[in-house]
Amino acid sequence: MFGERWLSDFLNNSYILPRIKVENFLLVGLGLRPCSQMTLPAELKNAESMGIAIDEKIFPKFKLVQSEPDPRKKLVLIGALKKEMRRTYERIVKGTEMYRSHLFWVERIGLRKMVVDVRPTIEELYIFKDKAIGKRLRKLMKDREKYRTDASVRPGMERESYAFPEEFQSSWIEEIGEVLGYPTCCVEAYASNREEGINLEFRASRQIEEAMKMGTLNPLTYFVGYFFPCSPYCDDALAKGTKCRERLSELHPRLGEMYLKSVAENMEKVRRQPKIIEKYKSRAESLL
């Protein structure tokens, strides 16, 4: 499966980010996690320029929808806007070699994929090996759609609960966490925080800040991106990260180095989550 020529071609591919190569493709291919997830276009190489191009095309029309007082006309404008958003995404994202390269290498490595529409300009790409994972994903996505449909007809919900209601369903969180290969203790902490109204991004950031004051941390605990361990000292998460590094290093020394850089960046992103969230909110508000 991982022949020398094949691996060399993959590592030299300029369209896929190093973190994605290691965490989303190789860890799944090596059986070190059942499934990976990436958000498109956010995790593509030119994500920022793609996002700006989409916003410049869409937000003027979004403002027209907001300013329309007639409910019937507004519904027509919303429908037209969604179609325009999909066309824009097709052209700016799906029409690029970067996008196509991810799908090509899923098949080249002998893995399976599931592409899920989240919003008209947002997709999720799930990469996995076992057919059973695909079946579980289809059920999870069906349940998520139901939660979101139910939330859309319930007035008075907080913005986050309305946009991502599945984040407040413990059973859903536990299932997707298991599919993505996260430690049980970390998944349970995540679900508990959401249910109790604790901002887990701030919690995880604060844990790192406090731990760093006491000494150095092992970034291998943050073994994949966008993962929030129950603690910076979680033994299960650290064990996973350690095993991933060892196996990748055995496959190729360069991969071990890439992985160490990746987990260090993962930990730093978790530490900076509050600032990242505020920056995102400020940018979104400036476009309205």
Please give the average per-residue pLDDT across 209-234, as a whole number.
95
Please tell me whether residues 100 and 222 are part of one structural domain.
no
Please tell me whether residues 191 and 100 are part of one structural domain.
no
- Residue 246 included in any domain: yes
- 228: pLDDT strictly greater than 70: yes
Structural domain of 118: 1-129
For the chain, give the percent of residues with pLDDT over 70: 92
Name the helix (H) or strand (E) containing 72: helix 71-89
Please tell me whether residues 224 and 101 are part of one structural domain.
no
pLDDT confidence band for 192 (50 / 70 / 90): very high
- Residue 97 included in any domain: yes
What DSSP string runs through 141-203? HHHHHHHHHHHHT-TT--HHHHH-GGGG-HHHHHHHHHHTT--HHHHHHHHHHHHHT--HHHH
Annotate 115-154 with b (16+ C-beta within 10 A) or e (fewer): ebeeebbbbbbbbbbeeebbebbeebbebbeebeeebeee
- 162: pLDDT strictly greater than 80: no
* Contact yes or no for 37/46 (Cβ under 8 A): no
Tell me the pLDDT tens digit for each residue of 1-42.
566 678 989 999 999 999 999 999 999 999 999 999 999 999
- Residue 68 included in any domain: yes
pLDDT confidence band for 236 (50 / 70 / 90): very high
- 284: pLDDT strictly greater than 80: no
Identify the pLDDT of residue 5. Answer: 74
- 288: pLDDT strictly greater than 70: no
Q: Which of 100, 129, 158 is the last residue of a domain?
A: 129
Please tell me whether residues 115 and 235 are part of one structural domain.
no
* Contact yes or no for 37/239 (Cβ under 8 A): no
The full length of the chain comes to: 288
Mean of the per-residue pLDDT values for the chain? 91
pLDDT confidence band for 66 (50 / 70 / 90): confident
Q: Which of 111, 129, 147 is the last residue of a domain?
A: 129
Q: Note the pTM of the prediction, 2 decimals.
A: 0.91
Residue with tokens 């071609």: 9
Q: How many domains does the chain have?
A: 2
Measured between alpha carbons, how far is residue 234 from residues 36, 187, 230 in Å? 21, 12, 7
Please give the average per-residue pLDDT across 49-57, as a whole number.
93
For the chain, strand residue ranges (E) read 35-40, 112-119, 122-128
Please tell me whether residues 121 and 188 are part of one structural domain.
no
Please tell me whether residues 124 and 230 are part of one structural domain.
no
Identify the pLDDT of residue 177. Answer: 98
CA atoms within 13 A on the CB side of 278: 5
CA atoms within 13 A on the CB side of 29: 21
- Residue 157 included in any domain: no
- Residue 29 included in any domain: yes
Please tell me whether residues 113 and 34 are part of one structural domain.
yes
Please tell me whether residues 192 and 105 are part of one structural domain.
no
Please give the average per-residue pLDDT across 80-95, as a whole number.
94
Planar angle of CA 126, 130, 132, nearest 5 degrees = 90
- Residue 171 included in any domain: no
Please tell me whether residues 5 and 78 are part of one structural domain.
yes
Please tell me whether residues 108 and 191 are part of one structural domain.
no
Please tell me whether residues 13 and 117 are part of one structural domain.
yes
- Residue 255 included in any domain: yes
SS3 263: helix
- Residue 135 included in any domain: no
Question: Which three-class secondary structure string do you get for 206-224?
Answer: HHHHHHHHHCCCCHHHCCC
Planar angle of CA 47, 36, 278, nearest 5 degrees = 45
pLDDT confidence band for 269 (50 / 70 / 90): very high
Rounded-to-integer distance, Cα 115 and Cα 256, Å: 29
Q: Which of 87, 114, 129 is the last residue of a domain?
A: 129
